[in-house]
Structure 1
Amino acid sequence: MHGFSYLTTPPVRFAPGKGDPYVTRLSDWIQTEGEVTGNPDLMIIGVPLSKSSISFSGAHSHPQQFRQLWTSFTTYNMDEDIDLAELAAVDLGDVKMHITDIPQCHRNIEEALHEVTSRFSGLPVLVGGDHSITYPAICGINRSRKQRVGLIQFDAHLDVRDTEYGGRSNGTPIRSLIETQALRGEDIVSIGLRSFANSREYRAYAEQQGVTIFTAQQVRQKGIQEVLEWTLNYLQAKCDVLYVTFDIDVLDQSLVPGVPAIGPAGLQAIDVFACAYELGKNQNVIGMDMVCVDPTKDLRDVTSRVALHVFLHFASGYYRRVKG
């Protein structure tokens, strides 16, 4: 039934049925892989991995919670007056995970993204899972596209921990990308870093590798629009394409109680949504992920709803890209 070697169909599909002919819910819009004909615009892929998290995390359960919320929201963006139902979106299911072997899980992610991006030209949207998934995902896409990739990282943390201390984890994706030469350090911009969440040594490593850093305080001082404009101008001057990773812990803890590493003085939701919209609209962006949401620690699905709205604003920007 499923046409991919490293993906499995979701265990449950949340589709309550269309009761109002004038309302299209996300669950009415997003198709399954078996229903798709042609080349989809957006390809949603669940990555249910959190065994590689440094701290306890139930982020492996987020892809299914993300899907469950599709019955709660519509496809109509009132601010932009666009209906996402005009895009072709498909849920390709979840990357297959090994019960105990984290390196095998990472290999499966890389192979899945290579297979999907080799077959379709649409844009992959990864729903994590912890942040370790970003490294193999980009490696898989690199094998398909063979272009110079720039990375925009929204995160409270640098994620450049030494892999000698615990292997590849949610604290290492940026270091892993640099040390394996999957990306150049100078092609990475990290936005939203927080005090009391990082170390001087790892900041020095990131800066020595050429990573550009914007702290959450700098974002407040400069404004998110100025920071994003600078980032896009800087990366697009030398990179062929861009990938975006949203670690949801970049937001203030009052907005996302269901992330493993909550902290005060984070970014505001409206700023992250604005960035998601602009990046979805950008012709050079070829993939994105949302990571580190733990539904087991959440309150009334608040954090999952924020992550879903990151996707919806990104999809709204993508609509402008392809539909005008």
Structure 2
Amino acid sequence: MATFKKPTQKNWSGRISGQQLYMHEKITCSAIEKVTPNSIALLGYACDEGVKRNQGRIGAIAGPDAIRAQLGKMPNHLAPERKTFDCGTIECKDGDIEAAHNSLSLKVSQLLKQKAIPIVLGGGHDMAYGHYKGLLAHVGKGKTIGIVNFDAHFDLRNCEDGPNSGTPFYQIAQDCQDEDMPFEYLCLGIRPDSNDRILFEKAIDLNVDFLRNSQFSFHNLKTVTKTIDKFISKVDYIYTTIDLDGFSSAYAPGVSAASPMGFSPDIVMHCLSILIRSKKLLSLDIAEMNPTYDIDHQTAKLAASLVHLVMRKL
């Protein structure tokens, strides 16, 4: 089963200005039904059952609140009319990951119906499947949703033994095939030391667009920008998902599968700006935040800074 934890102002603290100079003063804890149009809606996904099944380091269940804690301390540069809501957290109970996905799907779809922009804080990367289902339920099958994944991993593993944090995009690909819909997936930061030969073959068979980690840097900015622009041009909407384990552990030690060989924040921030400028971005999520292994809240601060950037540029 899945349960839902109501938002609480206790998760939001920082300097007191009385002038909404800080994000904790800007954010309103609210039921989803009360979210207003043209607002930003934060939603937590407290689940690491998928990480556990995928033999990763558990602890991402505490990710949403760790990101909230750092985001609340940051300065508020949003326009007064841009409302920002914390809508609570989906919790996975008794290992029922399917119920958690269904709950996430329903809440994402509801937020979009109310003309809000969802930002989901995770939590294992299995949430991408539930998140995508919510987007599809809203836009319908006549429109193409392009997935942009910043990640070291394809996450295209088979799911015969049930879904996990390594299967979400394979599940989406299978659903697209069953419904005769295009599967448009761009993965940025893929590492050969993190994906076996079969996963590369599957990505090629599914016509996945990807850049290897060696290509995904400011040294190769022209190619990166061209790749993203080309992908944007062939889809109607963009769903962006950021797996924090794609970053080098120099920036993100607090993740489910840390490695020093990942990418850096600057190239991701550049790409996010391109995606936002396209006006096609529907929603975004941050995956695999694992406070158990974080150092000085470094990873939580990175995640919060990425959310902060997106909020400012929307």
Using structure 2 for the length normalisation, give the TM-score: 0.89
Counterpart Cα distance in 2 of 1:190 and 1:241 = 16
Find 1:228's aligned residue among 211, 225, 232: 225
Give the root-mean-square deviation of aligned CA atoms.
2.3
Q: Which residue of 2 aligns with 1:79?
A: none
Q: Deviations over 1:153-201 (max 9, x none)?
A: 100001001112x32110011101001117633x111000113111111
Q: Deviations over 1:229-267 (max 9, x none)?
A: 42233332x321111010011111111000111112211
- The one-letter code sitting in structure 1 at the alignment partner of 2:85 is V
Counterpart Cα distance in 1 of 2:296 and 2:16 = 24
Q: Which residue of 2 aligns with 1:273?
A: 269
1:138 correspondence with 2:139: no
- The one-letter code sitting in structure 1 at the alignment partner of 2:23 is L
1:116 correspondence with 2:117: no
Please show how residues 207-218 of structure 1 align to structure 2 within 5 Å.
Answer: 207-218=204-215
| Percent identity of equivalent pairs | 20
Q: Name the CA shift for 1:29/1:229 in 2 (closer, same or farther; >3 Å).
A: farther
1:24 touches 1:85 (CA, 8 Å); kept in 2?
no
Please show how residues 1-324 of structure 1 align to structure 2 within 5 Å.
Answer: 7-10=4-7, 13-16=10-13, 19-21=16-18, 24-33=21-30, 38-53=36-51, 54=54, 55-76=56-77, 83=78, 86-118=81-113, 120-146=114-140, 147-164=143-160, 166-181=161-176, 184-185=182-183, 187-220=184-217, 223-224=220-221, 226-236=223-233, 238-318=234-314
Counterpart Cα distance in 2 of 1:121 and 1:44 = 14
Query: Matched residue pairs, number?
Result: 304
Counterpart Cα distance in 1 of 2:13 and 2:97 = 35
Deviates more, 1:9-18 or 1:270-279: 9-18
| 2:200 aligned counterpart, secondary structure | helix
1:279 touches 1:314 (CA, 8 Å); kept in 2?
no
Q: Which residue of 2 aligns with 1:80?
A: none
| 1:180 aligned counterpart, secondary structure | helix
Using structure 1 for the length normalisation, give the TM-score: 0.86
Which stretches in structure 2 are left out of the alignment for 5+ residues? none
1:276 touches 1:314 (CA, 8 Å); kept in 2?
yes
2:188 touches 2:210 (CA, 8 Å); kept in 1?
yes
Q: Name the CA shift for 1:152/1:219 in 2 (closer, same or farther; >3 Å).
A: same
Which stretches in structure 1 are left out of the alignment for 5+ residues? 77-82, 319-324
Once the two structures are TM-superposed, the CA of residue 84 in structure 1 deviates from its matched residue by 5.2
Q: Deviations over 1:131-152 (max 9, x none)?
A: 0000111111111111210111
Once the two structures are TM-superposed, the CA of residue 6 in structure 1 deviates from its matched residue by 7.2
Once the two structures are TM-superposed, the CA of residue 272 in structure 1 deviates from its matched residue by 1.3
Deviates more, 1:145-154 or 1:31-40: 31-40
- The one-letter code sitting in structure 1 at the alignment partner of 2:232 is L
- The one-letter code sitting in structure 2 at the alignment partner of 1:241 is Y
2:244 touches 2:287 (CA, 8 Å); kept in 1?
yes
Once the two structures are TM-superposed, the CA of residue 7 in structure 1 deviates from its matched residue by 4.4
- The one-letter code sitting in structure 2 at the alignment partner of 1:13 is K
Once the two structures are TM-superposed, the CA of residue 205 in structure 1 deviates from its matched residue by 0.6
Once the two structures are TM-superposed, the CA of residue 12 in structure 1 deviates from its matched residue by 5.5
Counterpart Cα distance in 2 of 1:245 and 1:207 = 20
Once the two structures are TM-superposed, the CA of residue 301 in structure 1 deviates from its matched residue by 0.7
Deviates more, 1:19-28 or 1:135-144: 19-28
1:243 touches 1:286 (CA, 8 Å); kept in 2?
yes
Counterpart Cα distance in 2 of 1:116 and 1:50 = 23
Counterpart Cα distance in 1 of 2:86 and 2:294 = 24
Q: Name the CA shift for 1:15/1:159 in 2 (closer, same or farther; >3 Å).
A: closer
Q: Name the CA shift for 1:16/1:310 in 2 (closer, same or farther; >3 Å).
A: closer
Q: Deviations over 1:258-316 (max 9, x none)?
A: 01111122111111122223323331110111001100110111001101111111112
